Amino acid sequence: MKKETENSIHKNDSKQLARFAKALGHPTRIAILKHLESQSCCFTGDLVEIFPLAQSTISQHLKELKNAGLIQGEVNPPKIKYCINKENWKTAKGLFQGFFE
């Protein structure tokens, strides 16, 4: 059983919140997420067409969003379909809400 002070819980929350915030800290990633919210899902190629960025750059941004847990990809050969990770999205929403009161 894990023993945690209230303080360390807050610290963990701060870390997690910062992690999410960092992932949101680039206009392209915000735009990608907005697109995913509106479309529910999309392929990497769709984004490459929308944004004036190289395919490798888009891929890198997707990787960061995935690492932060905000999106998830499922293979749908030969394409990969990206969606919002609803669980973590909810967590992020809650953390930001709590932060701003």
Partner DNA sequence: TTTTCCAATCGTACTTTTACGATTGGAAAT
Partner DNA sequence: ATTTCCAATCGTAAAAGTACGATTGGAAAA
Question: Which pair of tokens denotes residue 57?
Answer: 């750059």
Kindly identify the residues of this chain, within the stretch 29-88, that bind a second copy according to CB under 8 A.
29-31, 33-34, 37
**Which lies closer to DNA via its Cβ, residue 1 or residue 75?**
75
Name the one residue in this structure whose structure tokens are 């067409």.
49
Evaluate whether 91 touches 68 at the Cβ level (below 8 Å).
no
Q: Residue 50 touches which of a second copy, DNA, none (CB < 5 to 8 A by kind)?
A: none
Q: Which stretch binds a second copy (CB under 8 A): 18-26, 41-49, 57-65, 73-81?
A: 18-26
Kindly identify the residues of this chain, within the stretch 42-61, that bind DNA according to CB under 7 A.
43-45, 48, 52-61
Nearest Cα neighbor of 72 from 48, 25, 27, 40 is: 40
The CA–CA distances, whole Å, from 74 to 26, 31, 54, 68 equal 24, 20, 22, 16
Contacts with DNA, residue ranges (CB under 7 A): 22, 25-26, 28, 43-45, 48, 52-64, 73, 75, 77-80
